[in-house]
Structure 1
Amino acid sequence: MKALVLAGGSGTRLRPITHTSAKQLVPVANKPVLFYGLEAIAATGIREAGIVVGDTHAEIEAAVGDGLAFGLDVTYIRQPAPLGLAHAVLVSRDYLGDDDFVMYLGDNFIVGGVNDVVERFTRDRPAAHIMLTRVTDPRRFGVAELDPAGRVVGLEEKPPVPKSDLALVGVYLFTPAVHEAVAELKPSWRGELEITDAVQWLITEGRRVESTVVTGYWKDTGDVTDMLEVNRLVLESLDRRVDGVTDPASQLIGRVVVEEGAVVERSRIVGPVIIGAGARVRDSYIGPFTSIAAGCAVTGSEIEYSIVLPRASISGVSRIEASLIGHDVEVTPAPVTPRAHRLVLGDHSKVQISS
């Protein structure tokens, strides 16, 4: 069995970060989201993984390399344009051959991994197995309709009137039968080859499609709000560790990780927080659910519930919350400019002005 990891796409909902960086490499607890997926795949025992890449291929390839660090043998597959998940399967046909495979969206985060669903698929071997989760607004997702016995009877991509609240999670398992389905597809109204249409084709042709409803945590880390939520969840599982240097004037409260080479001086750190290797925190407050990446500098500032990417600098800023700060960014106070009130008042006026 192989894995097909999708790491293309433009990441429009994470702009401007993704103007210069692949969305799959935005870090959660100082580790790229993509890496969590690769680790989950390796944990199933799968050893061969094809990574579908697009315009950000150079950055993805530099970060992942040959895959040996994850226990994988990685092959890179170029997708000329983000033309849909089924199109990614189409361009990967030669790599996949006649093997079963798990398709994993590289910007998805699933707590607990996918071992159980891979074992079930390997044992029962339906034509396809999809993972589902209940969502409050299914119009944003591919949606599945189940019969009373729990069998998948229909799928629809981003329907205006959903037939259920069961959204497709970004993990799919297929036998080679899916290649027949993909070959029959036409572009949707979005101009893409939809994987939901491929699975629907299998259902229509009488092929067995099974599903698992995810009871744990799943997120598509497609926007800043979701990134911060996943970062919060991962930081919750931290164990306190201080490999860097902290001075006696600093307070580290709760689950705080200070990586090797990091320095904390005259600061208060309230976990869960991670301070990356080589970072410098001076005269500052770092509040819960914050990730400070390697090489950052935080001086005379306060920051909480945020993600700060490598080599960013924050100096003299009184309060930052719920923020995603990119590579090599500089955040400083705005210059102080004189303020004045200009008044034209009639006789016997009474004016109250807040200073």
Structure 2
Amino acid sequence: MKRVLKRGLFLLLVLVLVLAVAGLAGWWLARPLTLASPSVELSVEPGTSPREIAQGWVDAGVRTPPVLLYEWFRWSGQARKIRAGSYEIGPGATPLDLLNKMVRGDEAQATVRLIEGWTFRQFRAELAKAEALKPVTAAMSDAELMAALGSPGRSPEGWFFPDTYAYSKGASDLAVLQRAHRAMQRRLEAAWAERAPDTLLKTPEEVLTLASIVEKETGQAADRGMVAGVFLNRLRIGMPLQTDPSVIYGLGEAFNGNLRKRDLQADTPYNTYVRPGLTPTPIAMPGKASLLAAVRPAPTRALYFVARGDGSSEFSDTLADHNRAVNRYQRGTVRSPPP
């Protein structure tokens, strides 16, 4: 009888101990982790062991014994399900949250924005300073970069769609470039499918080039169709496009903000004052609206336009009307009629 009683007491103590441990474990799992900073980040490389991951979090700023994290990963049965990636936790995150995030592959992300009208040089500069983005292409020339993207021999200008791109921290800039390049290919293909039956543009590449010029010449979104119509009218009659942004693009880093008369007279590939037709390549990254304007321009007979000073443009059919508009809005020599 005494032996049975002792055995019962022993089992009871074991049960109490197990329940106590389980209670402490449950309390710890639901309790927010103490962090050394408002947010803690860890990049988990492929092949990293659960023990190394636990230690990595502690080294990064999670203030808890690494053995507790490791035993939790192991005891949960999900240690082998932890995915490689870049993770971030903030105030209120519990050990349960931490493990779930890594098992789901819920990676920390950052964004980089490509602005409509930017050149490829500006885009590369933005990528170079983007948060936690590996500069895989930093040492590549433009030609090497395009070859890596599967477009060898093609100028990169214009071939990346302007948008905001989210990426996992620690991703490569080549991956972002790949997405932007594919996005532009899809957008251009869609615009080409919507082209007007009588368009002068013979290829999607010509659409992209004209769209880039429209992007740089348009001050207000409502004018895009008219601006495209003017340039297509000039192409139709063999008139030079005469667009300053193309000349500026051709000058590259030599442009100091002041476009001189000699610049407009210099015979260069991108000088649309002295050379007819479209530029050899796009001059910027056009957005969707400019692509659509290039293939579906506004119906107009206008051959000229001038900035009004408020972002919009005044369009004219004849040179005489254009000169009057220039005098009014640029030179201030013609007064507006009274209301």
Fold conserved between structures, TM > 0.5 = no
TM-score interval (norm. to shorter): under 0.3
Q: What TM-score, normalized to structure 2?
A: 0.23
Bigger Rg over Cα: 2
Q: What TM-score, normalized to structure 1?
A: 0.22
Whichever structure has more helix as a proportion of its residues is 2
Q: Which has the higher contact order (CA 8 A, sep 6+)?
A: 2
